[in-house]
Amino acid sequence: MTRVLIVGAGGHGHVVADALICSRREGSDLEAVGFVDDDPSLEGATIMGLPVLGSTARLGRVDHDAVFVAIGDNVSRAQLFGRLVAAGERVATIVHPRAVLAATARVGSGVLVCAGAVVNAAAVLGDNAIVNTGATVDHHCILGAHSHIAPGAHLGGGVEVGEGSLLGIASAVVPGCRVGRWCVVGAGAVVTRDLPDRVTAVGAPARIVRRHPSDQKHQARS
Instruction: State how far the Cα of 215 lies from the Cα of 189, in Å rounded to an integer.
Output: 26
pLDDT tens, N- to C-terminus, the chain (222 residues): 999 999 999 999 999 999 999 999 999 999 999 999 999 999 999 999 999 999 999 898 999 999 999 999 999 999 999 999 999 999 999 999 999 999 999 999 999 999 999 999 999 999 999 999 999 999 999 999 999 999 999 999 999 999 999 999 999 999 999 999 999 999 999 999 999 999 999 999 999 999 988 755 554 443
Instruction: State how far the Cα of 22 lies from the Cα of 115, in Å rounded to an integer.
Output: 10
Taking CA atoms, 170 is separated from 3, 34, 48, 125, 174, in Å, by 34, 31, 28, 19, 13
Q: What is the pTM for the complete model shown?
A: 0.95
Do the domains at 2-70 and 95-211 have one common CATH topology? Answer: no
Cα of 17 vs its chain's centroid, Å: 14
Catalytic residue of the set 139, 140, 148, 154: 139
One-letter identity of residue 86: A
Q: Report the CATH fold assignment for 2-70.
A: Rossmann fold (3.40.50)
Considering only CA atoms, which of 204, 200, 191, 194 is closest in space to residue 219? 200
Question: What is the dotted CATH code of the domain comprising 95-211?
Answer: 2.160.10.10
β-bridge mates for residue 119, sequence order: 101, 137
Active site residue 139: yes
Count the neighbouring beta carbons within 10 Å of the beta carbon of residue 56.
Answer: 16
Residue 214 confidence (pLDDT): 72
Contact call for residues 105 and 125 (beta carbons, < 8 A): yes
**In the chain, domain spans:** 2-70, 95-211
